[in-house]
Amino acid sequence: MTNMRFETNIPQKEYDRFVQEQPYNHLLQSYNWAKIKNNWDSMTLGLYDDNDQLTATSLVLSKTLPFGFKTWYIPRGPILDWENPNQVKTFFDHLKKLAKQNNVIFIKFDPAYPIQSFKTKDRPEGISEKGKKVVSLLESIGAEHKGYTLMLEDTVQPRFESVAFFEPDIKKVESTMPRHTKKLIKVANKHGVSIEEGHEELLDTFANLVQFTEARKGISLRDKEYFKRLLEIYGNDAIIHIAYCNLEELMQETKTDLAGVMHDLETCPENAKKKRNSLLERQVSLENKLKSFEQMIQDGLPKEKTPIAGMLSVKYGPYMEMLYAGMDERFKQFMAQYKNYVEIFQWGLEHGCKKVSMGGIEGDLNDGLTQFKDNFDPMIEEYAGEFDLPIKKIVYSLVMPIYRKKTSKK
């Protein structure tokens, strides 16, 4: 290890090639993520072995504080072999030395290294030995573990994520979905839900759907310019999927179906009780359906082709992150989000993805978001969580109470 070389500002092609080949890569450690976080300074770091081969990397985001101090943040990194203690220690030795030269108070990081993976119903008890081992390793180099937190609000990045994995022989993702989810997709199809995929031409539509979600949840996500930057910077690897419905077409189709049922009833013999009962049930169902659509239009919902759910996703190597979603809750019963999710998975599969992250969930696994994502039979990936690596320990001890107070108000 003594001959290993540590470099700053690794070229993009070399950097991304290495990161994308690693088992625990992440979009937030991609070279271009620094361009998304353009309100931070940044650098790409790399550790080379004796054969001049890149063995570890990190995208570091840097924020300048008063009096010339800085804090560094490594989102979902560094990217290295977490089961190789010598490599971990060597990388962090170099990192700490560089941080001291740059007047850094502390480095925050949260590795994309799963300490255990499981189905929700099969959650193991306690912390895995793998988790204890990596935490102990990082504490040995001076890092402070911020705890095995459960809630999304406790950390910058979620400690638990729902992740869909694809087997090599899968051709159609829908065929792998649970029976319940397939039924919900059929509901979407019966409501005429269609899916369109695209890029900047769908930006306005997507941004409007996100506003529905923000208003419903009382939260602030990202604005249109942020979404535009993602699309521009990641190019064809950034994709928007929009689900649409058309109430007017649904009404016409329902009226046509109802007319057919009424005709069949008129021609059906009185003694064909089983068939007549089936037709009568179908008549009631179609009439209720028609009343529902008419009521939606009376309530002010648009009757023409309307976007009702959307997602912006970004692919990075063999991995894709579903980043932002929006939905018009008034069309919730159309189950559009189920069809949209499966279409997104299919796009990822066809573009070389081995896994797709549906994003963070609460660690107690009892929230509605977890229950919704469980419809797609994901694995839950649990990470060790956040770490702070103090560089200027006295200053760190003085500023952290202020830092915690500020972040607790967000």
| DSSP secondary structure string for all residues of 235-298 | GGGEEEEEEEEEHHHHHHHHHHHHHHHHHHHHHS-TT-HHHHHHHHHHHHHHHHHHHHHHHHHH
Which pLDDT band holds residue 265 (cuts at 50, 70, 90)?
Answer: confident
The closest of 340, 317, 316 to 327, measured between CA atoms, is: 340
Please compute the mean of the pLDDT values over residues 111-124 and round it to a whole number.
Answer: 96
Does the structure show a pLDDT above 90 at 405? no
Which pLDDT band holds residue 403 (cuts at 50, 70, 90)?
Answer: low
Distance CA 140, CA 132 (A): 12
Within 8 A by CB and 6+ apart from 289, the residues are 254
> Average model confidence (pLDDT) for the chain?
94
Distance CA 76, CA 239 (A): 22
Give how far Cα 201 sits from Cα of 59, 206, 228, 233, Å.
Answer: 31, 10, 10, 15
Question: What tens digit of pLDDT does each residue of 10-36 get?
Answer: 999 999 999 999 999 999 999 999 999
Phi then psi for residue 305, to 5 deg, are -55, 125
Distance CA 107, CA 104 (A): 7
Distance CA 386, CA 112 (A): 10
Does the structure show a pLDDT above 70 at 348? yes
Which strands form 238-246's sheet, in the order they lie side by side? Answer: 114-118, 379-383, 160-165, 355-360, 319-327, 305-316, 238-246, 194-198
Kindly state the tokens that stand for 336.
Answer: 């559009």
In this prediction, what percent of the chain has a pLDDT beyond 90?
82
Give how far Cα 2 sits from Cα of 45, 83, 100, 122, 405, Å.
Answer: 18, 19, 20, 44, 42
Which pLDDT band holds residue 409 (cuts at 50, 70, 90)?
Answer: very low
Kindly state the tokens that stand for 62.
Answer: 């840097």
Q: Chain centroid to CA 300: how far?
A: 32
Q: How much of the chain is in helix, strand and coil states, percent to nearest 5?
A: 50, 25, 30
Place of tokens 């990217």: 79
Q: Which pLDDT belongs to residue 408?
A: 46
